[in-house]
Amino acid sequence: MTLDPTLFGEIDPPQRLLMGPGPVNAHPRVLRAMSADLLGQFDPEMTGFMNQVMALYRPVFGTANQWTMLIDGTARAAIEASLVSLVEPGDTVLVVNFGRFGLLLTEILTRLGAKIEAVSAPWGEVVPLEAIAEAIEKSGPKVVATVHGDTSTTMAQPLEGLGDLCKAAGAYLYVDACATLGGMEIAADRWGADVVTGGLQKCLGGPSGSAPITISDRAAERIFARRHVEQGIRRADISDGAGPRIPSNYFDLAMIMDYWSEKRLNHHTEATSMLYAARECARVALGEGLEARFARHRKAGAAMTAGGRAMGLTVYGDDAHRMTNVTGVCIPAGLDGEAIRTAMRAHFEIEIGTAFGPLQGKIWRLGAMGYNAMKHKVLLTLAALEACLTAEGHAVPLGAAVPAAIAAWEAA
């Protein structure tokens, strides 16, 4: 039964530049933070680190929400935790749907037994606020759920004013900001969003596996009304709510808030190394300054777009609502997109992204986010793409992409 341990060697991944839609290369400080030794989950230093994480993620989310913490899982785990805790079976939920991750919200909500209404835009566009307002009026939802930046289409949904619409209609607003958190402004309080979730592996420059979340007091109240403490750990100072039990234990945000509160009610065993990573991601972002960080992503997106166009490629989607950190570039007719991706990896150790669903085989997705939203990495990617396109026999104006990208970087 014992396997020869030499069968697989030491971990030694290739040194590859990840310029797709995420995950991207983690910041070295984040990787180093994970090698700190573990602590007992209720040791005072550990609960101190948890409190620091809460404080560090409030500015990252643009919020003063007390309940700002981590879900132990990938970004998708935080989406499910939000929806399963916020939505009661039979509730009407309005999904703002403009890409694959809008479909994911629908998919998760279907499994939870929600009644789903959708207000959709064609892929490559966003949903106008008026259309959302109309859909809210028509469907009377308990929750409105939207993605902020949908990497499948590279579009960012404007969210200014949406919270007011929701509040006026008695609805809660959920926002999936996985792909933009730390790269574009997230203004949970100003938007009036009740629950916003993210991930580390995009603009925050960390590994996937821990997902930041923030919850408004109003949403927390609704969720605590569904609190049911586990039989093995009931305490006199924590009483159950009158609402229907949340159908998941792991994703029960009432229990997770109790765990992160001074009550420290035992739930899961906090993923310590991932918490160290999340803490360092936020320290790196706040150390740079959020405004500077957003500007860096804006410059990177502008440079990638300008460089692609200078090569004669069509940039996918609506210019007015582009995410700054990922750019869709149309694969020229007659060209095998996967052959180019393979050449990029084989010759240059650069990964660029493929696409999903209706865009599969139609666009590449060029990311520049977190630690990779840097001028030299954008330029290297464009220069390598030019060489690979040329080698595959697709004529591009030689030497045009890089100077166009530099000019766009400087102008943005």
Task: Determine if 106 is a binding residue for its own copies (CB under 8 A).
Answer: yes
Report the site for its own copies in 297-336 (rule: CB under 8 A). Answer: none
Task: Determine if 398 is a binding residue for its own copies (CB under 8 A).
Answer: no
Task: Determine if 256 is a binding residue for its own copies (CB under 8 A).
Answer: no
d(CA 13, CA 130): 48
Residue 309, marked binder: no
Decide whether 1 or 395 has the Cβ nearer to its own copies: 1
Q: Using an 8 Å Cβ cutoff, are 340 and 389 in contact?
A: yes
Give me the numbers of helices (H) and strands (E) for the chain, helices first please. Answer: 14, 13
Residue with tokens 């150790």: 349
Of positions 90, 160, 168, 245, contacts its own copies by CB under 8 A? 245
Quick one: DSSP state of residue 58?
H
Per-residue tokens: 315: 């940039």
Per-residue tokens: 133: 């307002």
- Minimum CB–partner distance for residue 48 and its own copies (Å): 9
Compute φ and ψ for 175, nearest 5 degrees: -130, 125
Decide whether 199 or 394 has the Cβ nearer to its own copies: 199
Task: Determine if 262 is a binding residue for its own copies (CB under 8 A).
Answer: no
Decide whether 38 or 398 has the Cβ nearer to its own copies: 38
Taking each helix axis from N to C end, the angle separating 253-260 and 75-86, rounded to the nearest 10 degrees, works out to: 110
- Beta bridge pairs of residue 150: 155
Report the site for its own copies in 180-219 (rule: CB under 8 A). Answer: 199, 201, 207-210
Task: Determine if 277 is a binding residue for its own copies (CB under 8 A).
Answer: yes
Q: Which range in 45-53, 125-133, 296-304, 389-397 contacts its own copies by CB under 8 A?
A: 45-53
Q: Which range in 72-80, 124-132, 136-144, 378-386 contacts its own copies by CB under 8 A?
A: 72-80
- Minimum CB–partner distance for residue 102 and its own copies (Å): 8
CA-closest candidate to residue 228, choices 236, 238, 214, 219: 238
Task: Determine if 261 is a binding residue for its own copies (CB under 8 A).
Answer: no
Helix (H) or strand (E) holding 222: helix 217-224
Q: Using an 8 Å Cβ cutoff, are 65 and 215 in contact?
A: yes
Decide whether 129 or 271 has the Cβ nearer to its own copies: 271
Taking each helix axis from N to C end, the angle separating 217-224 and 253-260, rounded to the nearest 10 degrees, works out to: 110
Task: Determine if 159 is a binding residue for its own copies (CB under 8 A).
Answer: no
Q: Which range in 68-76, 167-175, 328-336, 403-411 contacts its own copies by CB under 8 A?
A: 68-76
SS3 at position 379: helix
Report the site for its own copies in 14-33 (rule: CB under 8 A). Answer: 14-16, 18, 20, 22-26, 31-33
Annotated binding site: 365
Annotated binding site for substrate: 365
